[in-house]
């Protein structure tokens, strides 16, 4: 759905860019702004190379002209591309911190909420939940001060989703349910929102509402057609099915009933195709716990080892530790010891 709209928008942006290069465009339209917009659209379309090229050139042009706000926008985009799409968390964070430094130094408020939110998401993805929560709280406060309702919805989704991952299940459920009541029924972030809600209910040991939320996450993901949303929805569905110990209806028809293995396999396939190694590792981690609980120690152990390798490659030591803690709680202390972060 969004892909078609963005595809049309990208075509118009490229026409405007060509006109600017020819000197034929309206004088109020600047090449740096067009490139920035092109970069954001290309990122939503999954074209990392085009987005990187546009963002880099936009930053150079804004720096040459001394446009601080334009530099901040380009740095924000570069940060998102690196941490979110390329899984280069350190580099992504450095771009975002540079943007925040420029905001502070020049006392600029516009764009601050977005930079804070992206820093928060970068920290969340690395498993640094305390820092992520503080950044998302600050981003939400900034959005409310600006009176930007749409941005406020996004920040609430980020904040309560982080609460779910941090184990603050009651707060997450309350916040996410309230958010769902307020947003449009076709809001493009709903697959993620329902996924967080399912995770929070699962953590609170409320299986029935977790199942309902997981099914809604998948239904909304199928409606948007976003590959990342679909992979995430299948993963949360797998976790819910595994917790229930039985099969669950899934998919657009609702006619087929799938096992946890079916759902994990679908999620893993999609994340692998997207080359999202962090999410592949998380899927393997939870799938491993499912296999271990069913007595398949060899398969579960192999999955834990592979997940640990991926986390280590991505320098996600926080997630290595979380996996070890989760395995220990589940009663697999030997594997927990195996998956602890290496020291030295």
Q: Give the whole-angstrom CA distance, residue 231 versus residue 98.
A: 32
pLDDT for 3: 44
SS3 content of the chain, % helix, strand, coil (to 5): 80, 0, 20
Q: Give the whole-angstrom CA distance, residue 259 versus residue 3.
A: 31
The whole-number average pLDDT for the span 318-330 is 93
pLDDT greater at residue 259 or residue 256 = 259
Q: What domain range includes position 3?
A: 1-84+94-103+112-123+131-139
Q: Give the whole-angstrom CA distance, residue 238 versus residue 217.
A: 12
Residue 46 falls inside a structural domain = yes
pLDDT for 247: 64
Residue 8 falls inside a structural domain = yes
Let me know if 88 is exposed, middle or buried by CB neighbors in 10 A (0-12, 13-18, 19+).
middle
Residue 89 falls inside a structural domain = no
Residue 283 falls inside a structural domain = no
341: left (phi over 0), alpha (psi -120 to 50) or beta: beta
Residue 72 falls inside a structural domain = yes
pLDDT for 9: 60
Residue for token digits 């709280």?
A: 137
Q: Give the whole-angstrom CA distance, residue 70 versus residue 7.
A: 24
In the predicted structure, residue 292 carries a pLDDT above the cut 90 = yes
Residue 310 falls inside a structural domain = no
What band does 122 get if pLDDT is binned at 50, 70 and 90?
A: very high
Residue pLDDT, tens place only, 307-323: 999 999 999 999 999 99
pLDDT for 344: 40
Residue 169 falls inside a structural domain = no
The whole-number average pLDDT for the span 148-166 is 97
Q: How far is CA 139 from CA 20, 116, 118, 143, in A?
A: 34, 5, 9, 6
Residue pLDDT, tens place only, 177-191: 999 999 999 999 999
Residue pLDDT, tens place only, 13-62: 666 667 666 655 554 458 888 899 899 988 888 889 999 999 999 999 99
The whole-number average pLDDT for the span 229-256 is 81
Residue 13 falls inside a structural domain = yes
Specify the number of domains making up the chain: 1
């Amino acid at each position: 759905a969004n892909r078609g709209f963005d595809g049309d928008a990208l075509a118009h942006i490229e026409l405007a860019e060509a006109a600017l290069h020819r000197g034929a465009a309206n004088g109020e339209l600047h090449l740096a702004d067009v490139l920035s917009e092109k970069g954001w659209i290309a990122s939503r379309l999954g074209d990392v190379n085009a987005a990187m090229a546009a963002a880099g050139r936009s930053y150079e042009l804004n720096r040459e002209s001394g446009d601080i706000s334009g530099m901040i926008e380009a740095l924000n985009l570069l940060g998102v591309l690196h941490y979110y799409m390329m899984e280069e968390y350190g580099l992504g964070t450095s771009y975002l911190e540079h943007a925040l430094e420029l905001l502070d130094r020049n006392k600029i408020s516009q764009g601050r909420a977005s930079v804070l939110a992206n820093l928060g998401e970068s920290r969340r993805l690395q498993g640094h939940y305390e820092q992520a929560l503080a950044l998302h709280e600050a981003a939400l406060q900034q959005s409310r001060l600006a009176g930007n309702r749409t941005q406020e919805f996004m920040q609430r989704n980020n904040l309560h989703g982080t609460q779910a991952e941090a184990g603050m299940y009651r707060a997450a459920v309350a916040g996410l349910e309230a958010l769902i009541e307020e947003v449009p029924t076709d809001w493009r972030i709903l697959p993620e929102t329902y996924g967080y809600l399912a995770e929070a209910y699962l953590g609170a040991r409320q299986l029935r509402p977790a199942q309902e939320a997981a099914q809604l996450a998948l239904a909304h993901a199928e409606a948007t057609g976003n590959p990342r949303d679909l992979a995430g929805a299948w993963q949360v569905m797998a976790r819910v099915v595994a917790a229930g110990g039985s099969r669950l209806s899934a998919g657009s028809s609702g006619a087929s009933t799938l096992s946890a293995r079916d759902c994990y396999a679908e999620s893993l396939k999609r994340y692998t195709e997207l080359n999202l190694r962090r999410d592949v590792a998380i899927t393997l981690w939870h799938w491993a716990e499912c296999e271990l609980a069913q007595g398949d120690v060899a398969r579960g152990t192999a999955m834990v080892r592979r997940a640990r390798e991926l986390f280590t490659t991505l320098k996600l030591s926080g997630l290595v530790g979380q996996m070890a803690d989760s395995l220990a709680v589940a009663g697999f202390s030997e594997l927990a010891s195996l998956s602890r972060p290496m020291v030295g």
